[in-house]
Structure 1
Amino acid sequence: MDVTETMMGKGREAIDLIVDPQGFTENTVGSKTFDDPEFGPGAVVGTGLLNGQTCTIIASDGNAFNEKFPVVYAGIIGMEEGYKMAQAVYASLEADADKPIAQKRPLVLIVDTPGNGPGKTEEIFGMNKATGAYQLALAEARLAGHPIVAMVIGRAISGAFLCHGLQADNILSLDANFGTMIHVMPLTSVSRIIRKDLETLQELSKGNPVFAAGPRFFFALGGVEELVTAIDGMRPAIIAHIESIRQAKLAGKQDSLGPWGRGALGAERGGRVVRPELIALMNAEFAAVASQYAPAR
C-alpha cells in the first residue's frame, strides 16, 4: 500500500476541513461550557456549523497528552476523555430536547484513536464506566433522532472505536491508501485467545473479512457505510449522510441505521452472510419456548 497522504494524528485539522470556514467553537455545546483545559485534553468537543447547520463536533486529538494519566496520549481515549465526550452528547440532547426530529442537531464524530487507556489508576477509578457512559449517550442521542456520523480519519481500534464510532448511524472512513486502520484487535492477540496459529489466521485474513483488518474489509462486513477516496471528499460525504439519516428517521426507518442496519448491510455485501441465518435460528428457538415464560411487562 502506497501511503502518500495521511490524516492520522490530525483530528483538529480535520475539524477545519469539515466544518464551514471559521465555523467551530470549541468547548461549548448548548448551554454547557467545558472550562477546564486540563480535563480530558485528548477529547476535542464543541459546536460547529456544517453547511450552515448547527452540529456537535467530537474529535480525537492525536497530539494531546493527559499529564495526569501517562497511558493517555496519541489519541487514546482515557477516563476523562470518555466522560468529556459523553457530556458533550448529553448537552446536545438537552439543547434540542424540545425540537422535532427535523431540527435535531447532527453529531459528527472524528475518529482517530489507537484504543483506550487501561492503566491501573484508570481501571480503579472507572475508565470502563466513562467509556460506557459515552457509548450509552450516543445510543440515546441516535434513538432520540439526532443524526450521528462517524468519520474515521486515522485509527479506529478496539474498545475506543466501540465507544467513539460504532454507535453512529453511519460510519465513513478514508480509504486504506491514507493509512487508515480499523480493527478490533491484532491477529497476534486473536491467535492467543482462540488458540489458532498466527500463520493460519494470516492466511484466513486474505479472503475472510472477519479475520482481516482495514477499512476495505470493514466495508465488506457492512461496518463502514462508505469509503471516502479523497480528503476533500469528507465534508460533502458527511453532509450527504446527515441528510439521508435524517430522512430515514423521519420515515421511521430507525432499524436501517446504526449497529442493526450495518448488520443487514454486511449480509447484502456478502461479508456477514451467516448472521441473518443465526438470528432466524435464535428467534425460532425462542419462539418455541416463549410460552413457558411470563410475558414482559
Structure 2
Amino acid sequence: MLQKFVIPFFIICLTGVNVTVIAQQTTLWNHKKCAVVLTYDDAIDIDLDNVVPALDSVNLKGTFYIIGASPAINNRIPEWRKAASNGHELGNHTLFHPCDGSLPGRGFVSPQHNLYTYTVQRAVDEIRANNCLLKAIDGKTRRTFAYPCGDLTIHDTAFYQQVASEFSGARGVVPALLTPHEVKLDNINSYAIINHDAAYMINLVKEAMRTHTLLVFLFHGVGGGHALNVDKTAHSQLLHFLQQNEKDIWVAPMVDVADYIQQQQSQP
C-alpha cells in the first residue's frame, strides 16, 4: 500500500509538475482553458446583416459596441432589441464616437466630435446619455464600455474613471493575452482584426488555450461595411473553430467575462 502512493510522489518530484497549478490553469476560465470575447465596433448595418446571423448559426454570443447616433441604430432598433434578447451584449461606444484629433493620422476626426476639445463633463454626459438609449433598447443596466479610437484621456484626465462604477469594464485596443488577475478592467486588451486570415485568428485562439488567458477580438466590418474589414469566410471559419472546441473555450459577451474577472480578482 505504501509503494502505491510513494511512486507517484517521486514521479511528480522528478518531473517538476505542480498538480495544483495544472488544475487551476485548466479551470481558470469558467472551467475552460481560456476565454474568448468577440467584439464588434460602431453599430453598422453589417452587424445585423452578417454578424448576428453568423453568431446565431453556431450559438455564440458577441458584444456590439454601439454608437448611439449611428443611423443603423435609429433605423433598426427592433433588430438590435432582438439581438440583445438572444444574449448578445449591446456595449457603450459613446453617443458620437469622439476621438482625439490632435494625434497623428486623425484627419478623419470632425471638429464637432474632437475629443481634444471636449471637457470631461461633456464626455461623461454623452456616455451616460448613450447608456440611457441602450437601456431603452435592451432593458439592461449592466454592460461594458469601449474607448473610441482607444483614446483613454482628455489631455491628462482619464475620463472613464468618472463613470467606471456604471460599467463592468472597458475594452481598449492594445493587444495582449492575460490571466484573470493580470487583466486591467479599465483597459481590457484586444486584438484588432483588419484583413487578417482565419489561420491568424485561430492561432491566436490556440495560443490563448495554451497559456490559459483571455483573448478579445476587435472587429469592425465583416464582409464589408467598414474600411477596417475582415473577410466574411475567414470570420466564419473562426466561429466554427470556436464552436468545435467549446469544451475548452469559454466564448461569452464582454460583460459576462468582465464580471467573472472581477470576482476572480476579489479572491486571494
Q: What TM-score do you get using the length of structure 1 for normalisation?
A: 0.32
- TM-score, normalising length from structure 2? 0.35
CA radius of gyration, larger in:
2
Q: Which has the higher contact order (CA 8 A, sep 6+)?
A: 2
